[in-house]
Amino acid sequence: MKKLARALAVALSLSLLASCSAPSLDATTSSALQASVVTIANTAAAGDPAAAIVQLDGLERDLLQATADGRVSSNRSAQIAAAISLVRGDLQVLVAAQTPVVPPEPTDDDGNGNGNGNGNDKNKDKDKDKDKDKDKDD
């Protein structure tokens, strides 16, 4: 899990750093996005990929806002968004692997049961006889 988290962090970090010297990404914005990447990697490394996905959603929102504000160029934003998408896919695989599969409850498909799950209906007639005896006593 820790190796994957490091790989995720490297993928996003490289995506962010590739153009730090270029004007396509504001330095302050780059630092803020990098801090988010570190938090996401730490969360994934701690074994909580679902929480890492939630944090990744926040990173994506921050990226979209920074792009709208002109702090990230549209080309650079598209590159970072592609890296986010790849990381999201990896995290979703981890979440799926952690989700336990619950087997379905067995059912009485032959229709011969009385609802108690043992598949026979013998006690049903006995209960009717008890009711008849009860009516006779009244």
Residue 8, pLDDT score: 64
For residues 34 and 16, the answer to whether their CB atoms sit within 8 Å is yes
Quick: pLDDT tens for 72-81.
Answer: 999 989 988 9
Quick: pLDDT tens for 49-94.
Answer: 999 999 999 999 999 999 999 999 999 899 889 889 988 998 999 8
For residues 35 and 26, the answer to whether their CB atoms sit within 8 Å is no
The domains of the chain are located at 2-98
- Main-chain phi, psi angles of 123, to 5 degrees: -70, -15
User: pTM for the full model?
Assistant: 0.62
| Interacting residues of 84 by C-beta distance below 8 A, sequence separation 6+ | 12, 56, 59, 60, 63
d(C-alpha 81, C-alpha 13), whole Å = 12
- How many other C-beta atoms lie within 10 A of the C-beta of residue 32? 15
